[in-house]
Structure 1
Amino acid sequence: MKAKRRKFSAGFKAKVAIEALKERESLAELSKRFGV
């Protein structure tokens, strides 16, 4: 059985992208913090 695909809002994606551009944390740390 397939797992359901998760859907993220545009606002959530923008918030994560802005944090990634700041480069204060690695991508792994960001994904852990935001639960991606």
Structure 2
Amino acid sequence: MTFFPEINIQKTKSNAKRKLREYPRWRRIANDVDTQK
């Protein structure tokens, strides 16, 4: 994984941004599942 650190950094940053953007939706789904139990 350390062969292309610059590429991995860019990939990690893009993945992190996408995860942060999707976080509210995942939290809402988790809350729905918790309330259904």
**Is the TM-score greater than 0.5?**
no
**Which protein has greater RCO, CA pairs closer than 8 Å, 6+ apart?**
1
Coarse TM-score class (shorter-chain normalised): 0.3 to 0.5
Q: TM-score, normalised by structure 2?
A: 0.41
Q: Which has the larger radius of gyration?
A: 2
